[in-house]
Amino acid sequence: MANRARPAGADRPTRVGSGGVGLLAQCLVNRGLDDPARAASFLRPRLKELDDPDRIPNLARAVDRLWRAREAGEPVGIFGDYDVDGVSATALLLQVLRPLGWRVEPYLPHRLDEGYGLTRDAVANCLQRFPVPLLLAVDCGSTATETITWLKSQGVDVIVLDHHQVAQPAPPATAMVNPQLGSAAIQALCSVGLAFKLAHGVVKQGRALGLPAAESFDLKPLLDLVALGTIADLVPLTGENRILVTAGLEQLNARRRPGVRALAEVAGIRGEIGRWEVGFQLAPASTPPAGSRTPPKPWICS
């Protein structure tokens, strides 16, 4: 092969090395991972590479409003969704806010009686059970302009934590925490990933305030819920999702929660829990049958 002219752009890494390592490198380059730092992070995702939670649009506002509620002793309602992402996000937030001193109650709408989303009827039922001045809408609320406007007129502030498309103009929430309003790098996060980010922001603020419970709070054991919801919601497992799911599967395999152990048993999983087992066994097993009359609750907490 003598003296062939180098084509334009030949200095770009389009072919790398040879043998097994060369093949892996070629696969990474084909996926656009052509700089060593990004390739290394893809192969070995680490929690310390997670971005600052404050980079999520309006997350800092949500953290501030939550801390104000705690200082004022205001009870907080979490209005979730009944799918795996919504339930695991609701469970995750309960498990952070309660130990850190919030009075907080979960409400999951009934799939058949109340349907999806922050509807006026479902919210009225929720407020009847838990009269609260602050509602956290999880995995829903991005288009609920009418309900949020009504809640505001009733003196109820709403924080929306959701990853669905936001209505134009956006509903008048106190904080619209939604990755669709941010950069492409975070847009794949689903609600349980966002809930983890919000939890991180809340704990960070608690540490800045010198609260001992926040200083010793370990967020890592909550990542099993993040793996569950993120895989079940079928969002791309790239970037931050890849980091969260990798660490989350480790937590899931520790099988600390009785709820996870029971699910794994029902699903017949004996060995390791991976993405396939979550997507095709754990997630379907955790969804109540369509005709179920049982009132939904964030059972996975246990």
Shortest reach from residue 235's CB to Mn ion, in Å: 8
Closest separation between CB of residue 111 and Mn ion, Å?
15
Q: Which is nearer to Mn ion, 85 or 277 (CB)?
A: 85
3-state secondary structure of 134: strand
Biggest CA-to-CA distance, the chain: 82
User: Which C-beta is closer to Mn ion: that of 141 or that of 206?
Assistant: 141
Minimum distance of Mn ion from residue 84's CB (angstroms): 8
Closest to Mn ion by CB, 126 or 190: 190
* Residue 250 Cβ vs Mn ion, minimum distance, rounded to whole Å: 23
Minimum CB distance to Mn ion, residue 4 (Å): 52
**Cβ pair 134, 159 in contact under 8 A:** yes
Binding site for Mn ion (CB under 5 A): 85, 139, 190-191, 233
Place of tokens 């999951």: 108
Q: Which is nearer to Mn ion, 28 or 94 (CB)?
A: 94
Q: Which residues are CB-contacts of 17 (< 8 A; sequence separation ≥ 6)?
A: 25, 26
The CA distance from 274 to 229, in Å, is: 13
Whose Cβ is closer to Mn ion: residue 58's or residue 90's?
90
For residues 89-112, one letter each, b for 16 or more C-beta atoms within 10 angstroms of the residue's C-beta and e for the rest, the string is bbbbbbbbbeebebebebbbbbbe
Closest-approach residue to Mn ion (CB):
85
